[in-house]
Structure formats: C-alpha cells, structure tokens
Amino acid sequence: MALPAAESTINAMPLPLANLPAQRVRRRFIGADTHGSHAIDAPAAIRLWHLASLDAPTVAVVWTLSLARAADVRLPAWVPVLLALGVWSVYIGDRLLDARSAMSRCNLASLRERHFFHWRHRRTLLPAALAAACVCAALVFTQMPIAFRERNSALAAAALAYFSGVHLPRRPRRFSPLVSKELLVGVLFAAGCALPTLTRVSPGNLCSTAAVSLVFAALAWLNCHSIDRWESAPHAHIAPKAFVLTAAAVIAACTLAVARPRAAELLVAAALSAMLLALLDRGRARLTPLALRAAADVVLLTPLALLLR
C-alpha cells in the first residue's frame, strides 16, 4: 500500500509544521510559492490556534453566547463547554481522516498545513479528541434535559450523516452548486450554535433570533466558501458575495434597531465580519496561506466586543 510511504514522508520532517515557515511548507508539499517572499505570516499564537483546531470552537462559543445575549437568554454553563469540546473533537477527527485519505492516495498536494500538523501530532490529538467526546457524552446524559436531548438528536443525526458521507469509502462524492459542501458545513455549524438559544427563547424574541441565526448561517457559509476558493481557485473572488451579505445584515439591523437593539448589534457585528472577509479577499496576495486561513476565522470573532462590554 502507498500509505506507509506517504506517512514516512510526513514523519521524516524534523520539526512540527507549526514551527516551520509557511513558505517552506508550501514549496515542499503544496507547490510553487505564489505569494512572494515578503508575504505576511500570522503570529505564532494565531498559527497554533488555527493548526490545533482551536479556531472553530472559539468561534462557536463566541457566537453561541452572543446569540443568547441578543435573545435575552441565560444559558447554563455546561452548554458552551459541550459545544466547544464537541466542535473541537469533530474538527480533529475530520482533519486526521482527511490526512489519512490523502496519504492512502499519495495525494499530499491536497493537504494543507493544518492536516500535516494534525497527523504529526495524532498521538496527542486523537486521545484528546476521544476524551473530549467522552466528556460531551457525559454532559449530554447528565446535564441536558430529556426534552432538549430529543430536539438536539436531529441535528446530531444530520451532522453524523454529513460526516459519514464525506469520509466513508464509497464512490466519489459530488455536491450540486446549490447544495455544496461549504453550505452544509455552514448550516450545520450555525444550527449547532443557535439551537441552545432557539430552544429557550421567548416567543417575542423568536423571530429576531431566527433572523440573526440565518445571517450567521450565511456568514458561516461565506467563511467556508472563502477558504475553499482561496485554496482551490486562487483567481476567484468572494468579495461581491461578501458585500451582498454585508448589505443584507445592515438592512436587517436597521429593521430591528428599535425593537430588538441587541439583535441589531449582533447583525452589525456579522456585517463587519463579512466586510472583513471581503478585505481579506482583496489583500490575500500579501498574506501566507496559513495566515489567510487563520484570519478568516479571526474576523468571525467580532461579537466578542459585545460580550466584553
């Protein structure tokens, strides 16, 4: 089989990829450098935050708490813990499976720095992910009310179906232009963040919370779509789509400004995130691929300013 040879290529590297300059990694595994020798790299802490899959749990917790704040809902302390550990374990599993699949096909060019990092540190990350999943299961069965457990089961089933469809060996997977992989990921991610609030919100706040959740789903899709375009179609641009989402979020914020000011504030934060994604798209030639990928998640943390007020 080809897997041992590909694995030895990764394991032969003397240093973890978190410590290697992004330019060297890109030349060795992804191809020629298209960003120039003066591209800006991310700070070490941001690189590690991204490479260790801590970015998605951070975004999930910030948006979950922000949606609850906008809807005047007080979430139990175990909810963000469950969400953070669950998202982290899923992302680790996803990246390890991606790395193993690519190595089995000797297709290292399809991998990115985050995949190499996970594979090199799999003996640490995999047990950590399994432990996180066990904590999540314990929280579900000891803290989550039965009624909420039943409501969340549909989302868990949808996530499991998506995960299985992507990673189980079968015929090549194809997504239609209307139902792309990025759209499914964005919707599932946003649903997981919004569900704790939607199941507890008062009827008077339900419509505004649903509206903000839909905008966040569109923002999560835009984030995934941007990363996919930047990595697979270097000359494609997502700025026009980002401007459309920005305009939609601003219009929705103006509509809710008087009746639901907190929801309007969160919509403005979403509009700012979309605009920042557009700016990243315009200036991506100045950033290394790793810095660009990490920045795409950093700009989703705009609601943190509302939580820290």
**Burial level of 28, CB count in 10 A (0-12/13-18/19+)?**
middle
Distance between CA 143 and CA 122 in Å, rounded? 30
**Burial level of 140, CB count in 10 A (0-12/13-18/19+)?**
middle
pLDDT band at residue 11, thresholds of 50, 70 and 90? low
Question: Which residue's structure tokens are 């906008």?
Answer: 70
Note the pLDDT of residue 282: 92
Distance between CA 107 and CA 126 in Å, rounded? 22
Residues 59-117 have pLDDT tens digits of 999 999 999 999 999 999 999 999 999 999 999 998 998 888 888 888 888 788 999 99
The lowest-confidence range among 3-12, 86-95, 128-137, 268-277 is: 3-12
Structure tokens at 83: 């969400």
Residue pair 181/175 in contact (Cβ under 8 Å)? The answer is: yes
Determine if the pTM surpasses 0.75.
yes
